[in-house]
Amino acid sequence: MALRLVQVNFKASDDAALGRFWADALGWDVSSEGPGVTNVEPVGFAWPDPSAVCVDVVTVPDPETVRYRVHLDLATTSEAHQAELVARLEGLGAKPADVGQGDVPWVVMADPEGNVFCVLEPREVYRDTGPIAAVVVDCCDPRAMARFWGEAAGWTVHEASDDHARLRAPEGAGPYLEFLRATPGPKTVWNRVHIDLLPHRGADQAVEVARLEGLGATFADVGQGDVPWVVMADPEGNEFCVLGAPR
């Protein structure tokens, strides 16, 4: 398999401020590859590495307000840790959020720009993921999405049902990629949060793009212009990027 899932990309009105929030939330560090981009990675991390899916925050002129299909779940190790993390996140500027979750053991919050995320109660399955337990995508057909993304990123399917699918890097490291059955509604604008895939060293980006087309992906235009990455959409219309291959 010649692609790997390396990062989650957030669109923002202020990449530096939102990047700082997520770095403090995760206990990670920030850097920048250029104006308008803040990279959030574990301290001392050598990108790319399967032990973590990083966060890139990119400033755009007018980040839209829509129902987000992609969100992060944060891991905790105990009830006390969950309570401490929620309090710390509120101190950083996060707020409680109501997405109709009702009485659940996890806490739904929104970051300073309104991106919803969850602080989970302790769960054994996430004991070794690091601070990000899972990247979660709302979808109509979890089984079909697991098939596509398992082939697209080479991730191992650990669970697949009509309501939920869970995948993880073949190395058994880092967070899970999960698909939850939902009714996302008609897709009329691009997602504010998306996934980036990176070809392995020596792989050909064009060959990988053609392979993804064969799996059911399509090209997407989000106003990216002339860039070295390729913007595509999965079979349910969620955008993702195929980055240029590393040298």
- In angstroms, the CA 203 to CA 243 distance is 11
Is residue 176 within 8 A of residue 136, CB to CB? The reply is no
pLDDT (0 to 100) of residue 94: 97
Confidence class for position 174, pLDDT limits 50, 70, 90: very high
**Angle between the 79-92 and 15-26 helix axes, to the nearest 10 degrees?**
160
Instruction: Select the more confidently predicted residue: 66 or 156.
Output: 156
pLDDT (0 to 100) of residue 21: 98
Q: Is pLDDT above 90 for 119?
A: yes
- In angstroms, the CA 4 to CA 196 distance is 9
pLDDT, tens digit (0-9, with 9 covering 90-100), for 54-67: 999 998 876 555 55
Q: DSSP readout, 140-167?
A: S-HHHHHHHHHHHH-PEEEEE-SSEEEE
pLDDT (0 to 100) of residue 188: 47
pLDDT (0 to 100) of residue 1: 54
Is residue 111 within 8 A of residue 94, CB to CB? The reply is yes
> Which of 52-56, 57-61, 86-90, 240-244 is the most confident on average?
86-90
Token couple for 243: 């980055």
Q: Is pLDDT above 90 for 97?
A: yes
pLDDT (0 to 100) of residue 137: 93
Token couple for 33: 């590859």
Q: Is pLDDT above 50 for 93?
A: yes
Which of these, 127, 122, 129, 123, lies nearest to 51 by C-alpha position?
A: 129
**Residue 4: strand pairing partners:** 198
Token couple for 123: 């769960």
pLDDT, tens digit (0-9, with 9 covering 90-100), for 140-155: 999 999 999 999 999 9
Instruction: Select the more confidently predicted residue: 7 or 63.
Output: 7
Instruction: Select the more confidently predicted residue: 68 or 118.
Output: 118
In order of 3, 226, 227, 231, 238, the CA distances from 221 in angstroms are 21, 11, 12, 7, 12
Token couple for 12: 């923002």
Instruction: Select the more confidently predicted residue: 50 or 128.
Output: 128
SS3 205: helix
Q: Is pLDDT above 60 for 126?
A: yes
| Average of per-residue pLDDT values in the chain | 90
Lowest mean pLDDT among 8-22, 120-134, 160-174, 190-204: 190-204
pLDDT (0 to 100) of residue 2: 72
Confidence class for position 191, pLDDT limits 50, 70, 90: low
Token couple for 29: 């560090």
pLDDT (0 to 100) of residue 67: 55
Q: Calculate the dihedral angle through the C-alpha atoms of 172, 73, 65, 60, rounding to the nearest 10 degrees.
A: -50
Radius of gyration of the CA atoms of the chain, in A: 17
B/e letters for 60-74, b = 16+ CB within 10 Å, e = fewer, are eeebeeeebbbbbbb
First-to-last alpha carbon distance for the chain, in angstroms, is: 18
Instruction: Select the more confidently predicted residue: 38 or 47.
Output: 38
Token couple for 233: 């959409």
pLDDT (0 to 100) of residue 105: 97
Element (H, E) at 20: helix 15-26
